[in-house]
Amino acid sequence: MGRQPGGEQPGVSPSAAAPEPDGLPPWVEPQLATLTKDRFSDPAWIFERKLDGERCLAFRGQSRGVRLLTRNQHDITGTFSEIAAALDAQRADGFIVDGEIVAFADGQTRFEMLQHRLGVAHPEPALVDGFPVFYYIFDVLYADGRDMRPQPELARKRLLAETLSFAGPLRYTDYREGDGEAFYRSACRQGWEGLIAKRADAPYLAGRSRNWLKFKCLAGQEFVIGGYTDPRRSRQGFGALLLGYYDADGRLTYAGKVGTGFDDRTLHSLRATLGTLERDTPAFDRGNPPRAGVHWVEPRLVGQIAFAEWTDDNLLRQPRFQGLREDKDAADVVREIPQ
């Protein structure tokens, strides 16, 4: 069966658009971090908080104004209009910055809280006020129309602090130099998701590399939704979601099911969406998903899942649903293995 293509988006893809008159590209492929089991301290590295939100590249040029794009090029400018307005009010122009849009609960970034805002193209003021979001910016790729990606990481961090003013929903992502191990222990004690370690002398490179590393305190990643089970007893909507990931050969591999982490609103709205994707046969190519009381769906939706660990049978232990991800295509979902 292999990988399934992501859904087509209306209009012209940003990558197909013409360059800005001031030289800004319409799209820049973001740099990605590699999961690792290593924990280290090194003066050649800086360490930042790992945030649990939606990755966002922000563009401000002379002709198109401010645009907010996810890592799979979905335009979310209208969804987070307060962030777009704060960027539009900046004195600087001709910039591209990289960061994470987050929402907080009890002092922690929670993807579950961000779910209330995702997918709402033009939110009402009550929704904006009820679920405030913040844009934590950690890198500058273009400044004053000039490509800053070849510059060292630490130089870009300092330039970022000089380029923008950080107020309202805009936040500068602080960092610590050198002492990664102590910072990691402190992060885990505080309930953070983890840290991102970055080589201080490295340029900004498209795609995944070992110049950025993930130190995770908690296990979690995205999974493709390949089916759901019928609800039992007083449960509404559905019982559990069947999860999978694509292996190196492009085969959708069953990873287990998740039945916790849903509120009533999510159970009903997600059940309605799943109903439009039903199919007669399983999309899973590998593994042994349950068969009784199961509805198969096209593998197009991506869920963010927290879990304790992988079992010896390569299934998720104690998984918990955190929300749907609109910034990642199902075809790109693989099992994260520390390197």
* Per-residue pLDDT reduced to its tens digit, 17-42: 556 666 799 999 999 999 999 999 99
For residue 9, what are its two tokens?
């988006």
CB 64 within 8 Å of CB 87: no
Mean of per-residue pLDDT scores for the chain: 92
50 in active site: yes
Residue extent(s) of CATH 3.30.1490.70 domains in the chain = 30-49+176-218
pLDDT tens digits for range 257-299:
999 999 998 999 999 999 999 999 999 999 999 999 999 999 9
Question: Helix, strand, coil proportions of the chain in percent (round to 5)?
Answer: 15, 35, 50
For residue 38, what are its two tokens?
């290593």
- Reported CATH class of domain 52-172: alpha beta
Q: Which residues contact 131 (CB under 8 A, 6 or more apart)?
A: 103, 113, 114, 116, 117
CATH architecture of 30-49+176-218: 2-Layer Sandwich (3.30)
CATH architecture of 220-332: Beta Barrel (2.40)
Cα–Cα distance for residue pair 199/208, rounded to 1 Å: 14
Mean pLDDT computed over 6-23:
50
| Candidate list 50, 198, 216, 328, residue with the active-site label | 50
Structure confidence at residue 17 (pLDDT): 54
Residue extent(s) of CATH 3.30.470.30 domains in the chain = 52-172
Query: What pTM does this model have?
Result: 0.81
Q: Which residues contact 219 (CB under 8 A, 6 or more apart)?
A: 306, 307, 308, 309
pLDDT tens digits for range 292-318:
999 999 999 999 999 988 999 999 999
Question: Is the predicted pLDDT of residue 100 greater than 50, yes or no?
Answer: yes
